Amino acid sequence: MKKGDLLELDIEGYAFEGKGISRIGRESGDEKNFVVFVQNSYPGDKVKAKLIKIKKSFAEAKTTEIIFPSSERVEARCKYFGTCGGCKQQDLSYEAQIKYKQQQVEEIFKKLGGFSDLSADKTGKAGFEMLSIIPSKNTFFYRNKMEFSFSDKRWLTEDEISKEKTDMNFALGLHVPNIYDKVLDIDICYLQSELSYRILNFTRNFFKERNIQPYSTVTHSGFLRNLVIRQAYHTKDLMVNIVTANEDSALIKSYANELIKSFPEITTIVNNINEKKSSVAVGDYENLLYGEGFITDMIGEYTFQISANSFFQTNTLQAENLYKTALDFAEFKGDEIVYDLYSGAGTIAIYISKNVKEVYAFESVESAIEDSKVNAELNDINNVHFFNADLYKSFLPLIEENLPTGLSADKAGKAGKIPKPSLIILDPPRSGLHKNTVEDVIKINPEKIVYVSCNPATQARDIKLFSEAGLPTGKAGYKLIKMRPVDMFPHTFHIENVALLVK
């Protein structure tokens, strides 16, 4: 075999991040034990695929033709599917999507973590319980935030290539996978709402009619950078955030006025000004054009204030299921001291607050801490305390020193220190826990750990460290009790997973 070869392959399995698995013999007559991971294929497919990478133990290929489709395939709803980077498996039935996501989480923990489930270990001493995945109630129009990009380099579809009058220097839409500087110009998207893509189309027309140019990542000239729409699920609030490279108050005020006339549903409009060269939809500062500058939404019984750059779980309904799963796993009695690490805008800490004695929430982003304090005050919560802590370094000195300003000694004991917890909640970014944080948690020695993750691979790696020798601190002595995946993002490969560890 060599790179570029075309092979006919039967797809037998499904790997993490959506690659079909085929097993072949490398030469005629060989036993079929060489694995080929095939992009854009599903179990049950027979495909023609081109080899793009060959290693000693596996190869990667890309589907060029579907000879015989899997029975689990469906017709994708969106006309941009396959080109746009927003959805990766819209042509796979949702029932199959959640089946494979559950299988992938389980396989990751068995293969990468070395764990076994209860069915494999009949005694129940070593195995963990794998609970069934919680599917998303809405498989379309489920996102509360969409971030669209302007670009002076438009990605042309096959239909657009044949048209002579396509404007190649203006696009507003979503990035094409693996191509940072080109944007697919879209007029419809099924991820947020029908109202959302009508605002998208209005915005494109408004600026194109006035010949306003997108920002160029090459020349660093141009005005328009991003359109961010945040739409509450439980309230009627809707925010439009136009991100620009500099200020043009007359133009932006005109845009805001016309936008409100066309869409009275909008409750606030802001203009973030990003003067940096980096392509991020976050401004160096913000101008309020209309409304209060934030929206509010609810998770469970709690209200949260969401500003333009606040973190908030993107699927509001599934966030409730995610947090409820964490709460159920914790089995609080009401007298617990809890640490919430990577607390973000304080959503988990506030959600569990009435079930525990005190919550101490640690977060490195100062703006998120400010959001947390606002949300705690909004919900009249006084047993949650927020601290700025760099979790890439040890945070033990923070909890061992005298109390930070604002926390009374009667809440923390006679020594005037943050009390040790009986349970720690972890909700890190995709990269997982820093080894310093793992070591700190082991030294703190809580009775339970509830680990919420958006990346089962790094989660399995970290939980292995909690359950085995592998750190200078030695064996931590935690047992993985149970897990439950929660599908926050239908039609993508991403999956949240909640795990319970007990000392």
Residues marked as catalytic: 454
Please tell me the distance from the alpha carbon of residue 380 to that of residue 141, in angstroms, as a whole number.
32
Query: Which conformational region is residue 392 in: left (phi greater than 0), alpha (psi within -120 to 50 degrees), or beta?
Result: alpha
Residue/partner pairs of 279-283 with CB below 8 Å, 24 or more apart: 279/149, 279/180, 279/217, 279/225, 281/147, 281/149, 281/225, 281/226, 281/228, 281/241, 281/243, 282/243, 282/309, 283/243, 283/308, 283/309
Spell out the SS3 assignment of 173-220. Answer: EEECCCCCCCEEECCCCCCCCHHHHHHHHHHHHHHHHCCCCECCCCCC
Q: Where are the alpha helices (DSSP H) in 8-86?
A: none
Q: Contact, 152 vs 222, CB < 8 A? A: yes
Radius of gyration of the chain (CA): 25
3-state SS class at 29: coil
End-to-end Cα separation, the chain, in angstroms = 50
Look up residue 181 and give its two tokens.
């500087």
Query: Which conformational region is residue 18 in: left (phi greater than 0), alpha (psi within -120 to 50 degrees), or beta?
Result: left
State the number of CA atoms in the 13 A half-sphere of 202 facing the CB. 18
Which helix (H) or strand (E) segment is 289 a member of? Answer: strand 285-290
